[in-house]
Amino acid sequence: MRVRAPLGNADWQWMQALWKREWGGLTMVSRGTTHRLEHLSALIAVDDEDQYLGLITWSSSGAEAEVTSLNAVKENRGVGSALLDTCENDAYRQGIHRVWLITTNDNIRALAFYQKRGYRIEAVFPGAVDTARKEKPEIPVIAANGVPIHDEILLAKWLP
């Protein structure tokens, strides 16, 4: 597996298709900010035959970076970890000291994934997803696991 920056049109088409399928469109809303895919930094994981394995996107401001999406096409193969590690290393080289992200109250797997990698829960924003749904109505009301989606959870990691 290799992690690399998007190289051309084929990569961007795949990224757009992934976001539409997994996130309901080409925007992501977190903490009241709407992020557009084309304005974000990105890394792609590919196998030895250049088949897509996953994508991470983020935005940076000052000494902080927000991970806006992380997707592994096939889970439990180290793709998400490789993408997150590379993102953190790139961020650190750019002088970024804190990486943070938002997940939702229903996303138990994400909460476990990030906490195992050193992220800590810093805040819970009750009703924030209900507010975000006004900007992006595609956000489901109930998750596939049956949990109603209402709240944002902020996790962060300070880089050494």
Average pLDDT, the chain: 95
Domains of the chain: 2-158 (3.40.630.30)
d(CA 69, CA 132): 16
Give residue-wise pLDDT tens across range 28-50.
888 888 899 999 999 999 999 99
Instruction: Give the pLDDT band (50/70/90) at residue 148.
Output: very high
Are 152 and 31 contacting, i.e. CB atoms less than 8 angstroms apart?
A: yes
- Using a 10 angstrom Cβ sphere, with 0-12 exposed, 13-18 middle and 19 or more buried, the burial of residue 138 is exposed
Closest CA to 14 of 71, 83, 91, 79: 71
The radius of gyration computed from the CA coordinates of the chain, to the nearest angstrom, equals 15
In this prediction, what percent of the chain has a pLDDT beyond 70?
Answer: 100
**How high is the pLDDT of residue 58?**
97
d(CA 42, CA 120): 23
CB-based contacts of 146, cutoff 8 Å, min separation 6: none
Residue 75, pLDDT above cutoff 90: no
